[in-house]
Amino acid sequence: MREYIVIKIILFMLNTNVGIKEESLSNHSKCYLYRLAQAIVRNAANDSEIASLIAIGYKESKFNYQGIKHFTSPNGKHCGIYQQSPQFAKLEGKRLNCKDLQSSETATAQAVNYLHYIADAYGKGWESICHYNSGNSCNNGSRRYAKDYKSKYDKVMKMIGGKNKSFDSFSTESLGDYEQKCVGFK
């Protein structure tokens, strides 16, 4: 099941980049991350989209690994795991609000939708991801964002492809138990 690879990647990134240990996560956090992994697998059409979602989710919110219910940016303008602006969030013809973007499923579907929009409008090269960060124009900060995204994307693609020895040897508790941790959590 691909969601177990995705959740292992998420746990690996949190552990190696932020120092978050799996055993320190609450059952609520583990359930939240499991549901996020499921949403990523359901909404991504291929490994490249999985890597993009993971890179952006890490960069924007560290996957909101604590599972904070009303997760917004400090200025309150961007919402959820992928820190999306409700001003531009639209899915299946419906304008989304901040509450909608708190759902892993909706936020992930919208993030894929927005990645497709960026590719269509600005090109498929990784440099165009600067538009995820800044909208219509790319400034120096959004170009740095794109470079950092590319670095994380490349690392995730290596993990997916089995070409990262540190990841391959990374030990997690039984990932099969993650679904069990969701019993009783909304």
3-state SS string for 39-72: HHHHHCCCHHHHHHHHHHHHHHHHHHCCCCCCCE
The CATH number of residue 63's host domain is: 1.10.530
Helical (H) or strand (E) element with 94: strand 94-95
Per-residue pLDDT band at 180 (split at 50, 70, 90): confident
Express each pLDDT in 131-162 by its tens digit: 998 888 899 999 999 999 999 999 999 999 98
Looking at the domain assignment, is residue 87 inside a domain?
A: yes
Mean local confidence (pLDDT), 81-105: 91
pLDDT of residue 70: 87
> Residue 27: is its pLDDT beyond 90?
no
Looking at the domain assignment, is residue 167 inside a domain?
A: yes
User: Cα separation of 109 and 37, whole Å?
Assistant: 12
Looking at the domain assignment, is residue 36 inside a domain?
A: yes
CB 37, CB 6: distance < 8 Å? yes
Looking at the domain assignment, is residue 183 inside a domain?
A: no
pLDDT of residue 2: 85
Number of domains in the chain: 1
Looking at the domain assignment, is residue 182 inside a domain?
A: no
Q: Which two tokens stand for residue 39?
A: 């949403």
Residue position matching structure tokens 């969601």: 3
**Which DSSP letter does residue 144 get?**
H
**Owning domain of residue 95:** 2-175
Looking at the domain assignment, is residue 86 inside a domain?
A: yes
CB 40, CB 53: distance < 8 Å? yes
Looking at the domain assignment, is residue 150 inside a domain?
A: yes
pLDDT of residue 93: 87
> Residue 82: is its pLDDT beyond 80?
yes
Rounded to the nearest integer, the mean pLDDT of the chain is 90
- Cβ count near 64 (within 10 Å): 22
Express each pLDDT in 8-17 by its tens digit: 999 999 999 9
Looking at per-residue confidence, does 1 or 31 come out higher? 31
Phi/psi at 111 (nearest 5 deg)? -60, -45
Q: What is the pTM of this model?
A: 0.93
